[in-house]
Structure 1
Amino acid sequence: MDRQSVSSSNIASVGYDEISQTLEIEFLSGGIYEYYNVPENVYQELISASSVGRYFAQRVRSTYNFSRVG
């Protein structure tokens, strides 16, 4: 999955697959996680948020099932 770099003190890059509704987050610490059944609007709001890390913490982290992939 292609990811785009974001400006964040915790997140390095973010990617999204529309077909599977999978959100992929690469953290600056090196971990890569996939979050499942994430609506596209959540992805769009995440990458355009004034604080990507805060949006992720409030709207994604505790809301969607995930697994570590890297």
Structure 2
Amino acid sequence: MKRERLDSSSLASAGYDPAAHVLEVEFHNGGVYQYLEVGDEEYEEFRAAPSKGRYLNTEIKPDHPARKLTSPRRRR
């Protein structure tokens, strides 16, 4: 899935598959997650949110199943 860079302190990029209703998010720490059953309107609200990290934490994570694609990088 193609992701767009975000201006966010916690999120590096995000992409959306409208046919599958999947929001894919890459965190600055390298972790990539897909949030399932995210509607088009909800994705547009996420994109328009002044704090995308806050929106993800309060509106997406509590209500949508997620799957981890890659784990966060470990700090050395």
TM-score (norm 2): 0.88
Moved over 3 A (4+): none
Report whether the alignment pairs 1:65 with 2:65: yes
- Give the number of equivalent residue pairs: 70
User: Whose Rg is larger?
Assistant: 2
Aligned-residue sequence identity (percent) comes to: 36
Q: Distance in 2 between matches of 1:47 and 1:28?
A: 17
Shift of 1:17: 0.3
Matched residue, 1:14: 14
Deviation at 1:27, TM superposition (A): 0.4
State the match for 2:5 in structure 1.
5
TM-score with structure 1 length normalisation?
Answer: 0.94
Distance apart, 1:7 and its partner CA? 1.0
Partner of 2:73: none
Q: Which runs of 5+ in 1 are unaligned?
A: none
